[in-house]
Amino acid sequence: MGHIQLLCDIAELNHLFHDSISVESFMQETVEMAARHLDADVCSIYTYDDADRLLMLRATRGLSIHAIGDVCMRLGEGLTGKALEARRCMRVEHASEHPQYKYFAGINEEPFESFMAVPIVRGVTRIGVLVLQRRAQRPFTDEDELACKAVASQLANIIENARFLMTRDLTPTCKPPATIGPELRFIKGKTASAGFAHAAARVVDTHRRFGDLLQTAFEPGLSVMDLDAALAATAEQLQQLQEQVEEKLSDAASLIFASHLLILKDKKFIGPMKQLIAEGIPAPRAVLKIAKEYIDAFAATADEYFREKVQDVEDLAVRIVGNLIGHVEELADYHDCIVVARELFPSDLLRMSSENVRGIVLVSGGVTSHLSILARSLQIPMVITNQPALMDMGDNAEILIDADAGNVYVDPTPEIVSRFEERNRAQAAVRASKGGVKPRTLTRDGTEIRLMANINLLSDIAVAQEANCSGVGLYRTEFPFIIRNDFPSEQEQYVSYRRLVEGMAGKPVTFRTLDIGGDKVLSYYQNAREQNPGMGMRSIRFSLENKDVFTKQIRAILRAGAGADIRIMFPMISSVEDFGQARAVVHECAERLAACGVEHNPAPQIGMMVELPSVVSLIDAFATEVDFFSIGTNDFIQFMLGVDRTNEKVERFYIPHHPAVLRGIAGIVAGAARRDKEVSICGDMAQQPAYVPFLIGLGVRTLSMEAAKIPLIQQTVEQIELSQAEALAADVVQQTSAETIGRLLGVDRQKGI
């Protein structure tokens, strides 16, 4: 009878909410009602903050009233956190004996051993948890669970609608512990950039640093002259940073600090600060006040370009205040440390590289492919892990990251450190004993396979030279665009492209034209935000839509390629018409350069990337038009299978050895061979030893990869017998099961490699 009455009362929850004087009173009345009808000694409501991944006690009947706002736990922590993480009810008869049980001193829950936690969810969104407890020997029943789920379902709608009130009225008073619990001593993450690092942590949260300054009380006494001195010191620091980046990366990347310097020179930004100081406002407070006005204005705009300026202004304000008060050490310093951060921009990586950061741990749970590619170019070990709790551990904690395996160790034991040091010494000895990479790569029966290098930044050239690459199979021209604040000019592009061509000393260089969109967004491109950017105005579509940008790039490539062996290829080609339009731009640019008497390469080979399924059925038509093909396996796989490779929620569906993917590659290679056109592989598959025999067996003779992978792939190729590889490829393309193919190729299903 109690359950029936409870279900009747549930229908009145909306009225109860509207009649309540506050969100707190509504939730308190709800727990009183549920506890009464379900004959529970304790009933509590926890709400979930997705940003902090934190559950907080908001209302209770039966526990200490002082626990409200003071008891909090992370997603997956304790029986309550586990129920929400798994989105399923947890019923336990002896709670304190359960391995997931979490004890909170002083809240008086010790007598209540019977426990039931029902997650409050709306669709896939986690809202909170409804918890009921009874004394021992009074376990909860299936009927109790059904009734509790009905309450939770109704609460989900109400609490979801009341989120604004909750964030305004129910400010958290509890703080997650700064210490790292046992569950965070070892973290299994994902490799973004391989390598090893062992150093002190530096937690980077620019928003928090700026927020701390806003709460600081500053003494008066500093003058306008002091502000001028601080501005000059800040400008000098930024100039030094530009020079460091330029020296290390040999790119136009130093211009990432141009916006900072421009803001420093803006009288509308600096003038009001001086006026406030003249009125008696402490100089640091004046800087922060004006900076906050700019930040609020930028954050409120719908323009992505201006919203990104929030970070620039925050960084700049922190630097100016640091120079004003003499606490320069509070400014970002990444020397010889491992950075822990929620998110990073490409410009952050560049700055960290210039200051010799040892490694990076991102706690956002996902990573864009261009960020990981950039980290690999900069040779910064980087691991991605969905553990925001790491942001609370503070600076100087000892961290070891094994980015080869994607593992993070916090405060590692001496035994763990010793084991890795021994492994690193052994690996170094093996590398030293093998000597340099051979200039030619041959299979066991003498078939030559060209191993080309993928180049992202000009700093990759030295590694490519050391690896004796056969040339550049893919130069990602978008990186100088991504790391800047505006489109580079034709001359700026020419300088970078020419340095690449000269660095390759006569070896072929393949330029992929601008490949932006999807996960590679230019903040300064006004139309960058789209509903589905992966299939929107990206790559060759962007270039053909923005002919001025495209023409400048093609002219820069042709000029840089004068007297050299260069090739141009277009990304994301979906039709023969797309290719024809793009090729026409190349011919038009060459004709105009010739008419003006400008030195250039008049007839580069022109090819295309194969990334879209539409190309497979049209391969014969494409083969009559192009000079060469390059299969970008990363995009090819995600579009063949409909899987966003940057989305951790669906990453298990991203299967390189899926039969449709491998049959598609086989069809491209066969179609190109019928017209005697070269096919190269330039995605991750080219640098995974498990796939190399299959690709060579299909007829692929050119592989392009990160230069650091060339020694490993050369060793793999040298063990291949062509007849065996051909038999393997023939067998694989007949299969319809990814599991069977995985066994044939020796692919690790968990890693997909």
CA atoms within 13 A on the CB side of 14: 5
Sort 339 into a burial class: Cβ within 10 Å, 0-12 / 13-18 / 19+: buried
Say which residue, 628 or 348, is predicted with more confidence.
628
In this prediction, residue 308 carries a pLDDT of: 62
Residue 576 has what pLDDT? 96
Non-local (6+) Cβ contacts of 482 within 8 A are 346, 370, 374, 516, 520, 522
Per-residue confidence at 386, pLDDT binned at 50, 70, 90? confident
Question: What is the band of 750 on the pLDDT scale with cuts at 50, 70, 90?
Answer: very low
633: confidence class by pLDDT, cuts 50, 70, 90: very high
Residue 354 has pLDDT above 80, yes or no: no
pLDDT of residue 181: 55
Q: What's residue 180's pLDDT?
A: 54
Give 606's strand partners.
568
The answer to whether 720 and 703 are in contact (CB under 8 A) is: no
Q: Tell me the pLDDT band of 296, cut-offs 50, 70 and 90.
A: confident
- Whole-number pLDDT of residue 523: 52
CB 678 within 8 A of CB 672: yes
Residue 17 neighbours by CB under 8 Å, 6+ apart: 26, 158, 162
Question: How many Cα atoms occupy the beta-carbon half-sphere of 64 within 13 Å?
Answer: 13
What pLDDT digit, counting tens, does each position of 169-212 carry? 444 445 444 455 555 678 888 888 888 999 988 888 766 667 77
Tell me: pLDDT of 525 over 90.
no
pLDDT at 170: 42
Output the pTM of the full model. 0.61
User: Which residue, 27, 78, 31, 73, is CA-closest to 48?
Assistant: 73
Q: What is the set of active-site residues?
A: 370, 682
Specify the range with the lowest mean pLDDT, choosing from 95-99, 289-293, 442-446. 95-99
Q: What pLDDT does 169 receive?
A: 43
Q: What is the pLDDT of residues 75-128, one digit of tens each?
A: 888 899 999 998 899 999 988 888 888 878 778 888 899 999 999 987 777 889
Q: Any idea what the Cα angle at residue 374 is, between residues 345 and 433, rounded to 5°?
A: 145
Closest C-alpha among 312, 316, 348 to residue 230? 316
> What average pLDDT does the chain have?
83
362 Cα distance to chain centroid = 8
Q: What's CA 724's distance to the chain center, in Å?
A: 39
DSSP string, 142-181: HHHHHHHHHHHHHHHHHHHHTHHHHHHH--------SSPP
- Sheet hosting strand 407-410, strand order edge to edge: 186-188, 407-410, 398-402, 196-204, 337-341, 359-362, 382-384, 190-193
Which whole-number Å values give the CA distances from 391 to 184, 349, 362, 520, 610, in the listed order? 11, 18, 10, 26, 41
What percentage of residues in the chain have a pLDDT greater than 70?
81
Identical fold at 206-333 and 619-746? no
> By CB neighbour count within 10 A (0-12 exposed, 13-18 middle, 19+ buried), where does 86 fall?
exposed
The pLDDT, as a whole number, for residue 413 is 80
More confident residue, 518 or 730: 730
Does residue 459 register a pLDDT over 50?
yes
Place of tokens 């060339």: 710
- 359 vs 36, more confident: 359
Reported as type and span, the H/E element at residue 402 is strand 398-402
Residue 265: is its pLDDT beyond 90? no
Question: Highest mean pLDDT range out of 167-181, 224-238, 518-532?
Answer: 224-238
Specify the pairing of strand 186-188 against strand 678-681.
unpaired
Give the pLDDT of residue 533: 62
> Which range is least confidently modeled, 2-16, 302-316, 604-618?
2-16
pLDDT at 52: 74
Q: What is the mean pLDDT of residues 563-578?
A: 96
Q: What is the CATH number of domain 206-333?
A: 1.10.274.10
For the chain, what are the domain ranges? Answer: 2-169, 206-333, 619-746
622, 340 in Cβ contact below 8 A?
no
Rg (CA), the chain: 30
Provide the sign of the torsion angle of the four alpha carbons 667, 669, 670, 674, taken in this order. Answer: positive
Integer angstrom CA distances of residue 79 from 83, 92, 117: 6, 9, 7
* 306-326 burial: b if 16+ Cβ within 10 Å, else e: bebbbbbbbbbbbbbbbbbbe
As a CATH number, domain 619-746 is 3.20.20.60
CA dist., res. 140 & res. 93, Å (int): 8
3-state helix, strand, coil in the chain (%, to 5): 50, 15, 35
Q: In angstroms, how far is the first alpha carbon of the chain from the final one?
A: 59
Across 21-45, average pLDDT? 83
Check the CA dihedral 398-206-258-485 and report its sign: positive
Strands 605-610 and 566-570: parallel
pLDDT bucket at 574, cuts 50 / 70 / 90:
very high
**Contact between 752 and 738 (Cβ < 8 Å):** no
Max mean pLDDT range (194-208, 343-357, 390-404, 562-576): 562-576
Dist CA 729 CA 693 (whole Å): 8
pLDDT confidence band for 531 (50 / 70 / 90): low
The confidence score (pLDDT) of residue 329 equals: 44
Q: Is the pLDDT of residue 275 over 80?
A: yes
Q: Using CA atoms, how far apart are residues 221 and 104, in angstroms rounded to an integer?
A: 48
pLDDT score for 1:
44
Output the pLDDT for position 605.
97
Q: Report whether 687 contacts 695 (CB < 8 A).
A: no
Fold topology of 2-169? Beta-Lactamase (3.30.450)
For residues 663-682, average pLDDT? 97
pLDDT > 50? residue 330: no
pLDDT at 496: 87
DSSP assigned state of 442: B
Q: List strand residue ranges (DSSP E) for 646-722, in order.
A: 678-681, 702-706
Average pLDDT, integer, range 695-716: 94
Two structure tokens written together for 231:
């501005």
